[in-house]
Amino acid sequence: MVALPHTVHARHEIAFDVDVLFGALPSRNLDASMDAVGEQLSRHGIARGLLCSLRGGLFDACSGNDEMRKVTEQTGHVPVGTVDIRDALTAETEIARMAAEGVQLLRLFPPEQWVEPESPGLRHVIGTAVAHGLVLLTSGDVSRYWPAFSGTRVCFLDVHAYKVADFVVLARREPGFVASTRMLVGPDSIERIAGEVGAHHLAYGSRAPVHDVMPSALRLRMSGLGDDEWRQVAGGTATAWLEDVQ
């Protein structure tokens, strides 16, 4: 564990990180191996990650999902599948395969796959995942992509502190919308969302190993949330997803 500023001891362990990747990332000189990712999570007091393969998101969904399944069986992290949104027909088959194998979460990469918010393929993939009972995680600007996810259980992984008001307005009418805390590092971003719509609309995410874990983990530990709110964000929201879809 790295040396951290003083925090309440009960806030040292974060039960779930909902935004964890592993595998090959040729565009950066970065060790994204599972050994490196596991060491990073452990060093920052994070018990388990919702784990998705970089290969699956950026190169080949099927082989990436196979890689993800093997690694999560070995490590105990939670499996998160993905698909190529640009090929919605192949995605149908892959979503059915993952659901049959017990995968409960689907991570989408619309900006990385150059998929626009109004894409018919994106809406079809979301509808197929919902029909199989999967909870969704997605990258992309919540202000642009939210219409396609209306009525679903989804975690927006890229909600920025500048978009807090947009997210709160949406969450007031979308009970399934959740924001990752990774980019909510403003002075009151996390507290404002919890106060306006409830801590169940928040989940801790770091995007390890692509992003440094320290800022997001420290921001959550030093937040002004009450104890129950803190436990909700640090693991309760992700636990509810997994329990609801079992």
Q: Which of 24-33, 82-91, 95-104, 226-235 has the lowest mean pLDDT?
A: 24-33
CB-CB contact of 164 with 143 (8 Å): no
Residue 3: inside a domain: no
3-state secondary structure 124-156: HHHHHHHHCCCEEEECCCHHHHHHHHCCCCEEE
Residue at 151 is within a domain: yes
Q: Answer whether residue 5 is part of any domain.
A: no
Lowest mean pLDDT among 20-24, 144-148, 155-159: 20-24
Q: How far apart are CA 20 and CA 66, in angstroms?
A: 17
CATH number at residue 161: 3.20.20.140
Q: Is residue 9 part of a domain?
A: no
pLDDT at position 4 is 53
Assigned domain for 54 exists:
yes
Q: What is the pLDDT of residue 87?
A: 96
In a domain, 7, yes or no: no
**What's the structural domain count of the chain?**
1
The model's confidence at residue 2, banded by pLDDT at 50, 70 and 90, is low
Amino acid at the residue 106: L
Residue 219 lies in a domain: yes
pTM: 0.94
Note whether residue 178 is domain-resident: yes
Across all residues in the chain, what is the average pLDDT?
94
171-214 tens-digit pLDDT: 999 999 999 999 998 889 999 999 999 999 999 999 999 999 99
The domain in which residue 143 lies consists of 14-244
Check pLDDT > 60 for residue 115.
yes
Closest CA to 153 of 170, 137, 169: 137
Name the residue type at position 240: A
More confident residue, 5 or 85: 85
> Which residues, in sequence order, are bridge partners of residue 79?
51
Residue 51 makes CB contacts below 8 A (sequence gap 6+) with 20, 21, 22, 37, 68, 71, 72, 75, 77, 78, 79, 80
Confidence band, pLDDT 50/70/90 cuts, at residue 8: low
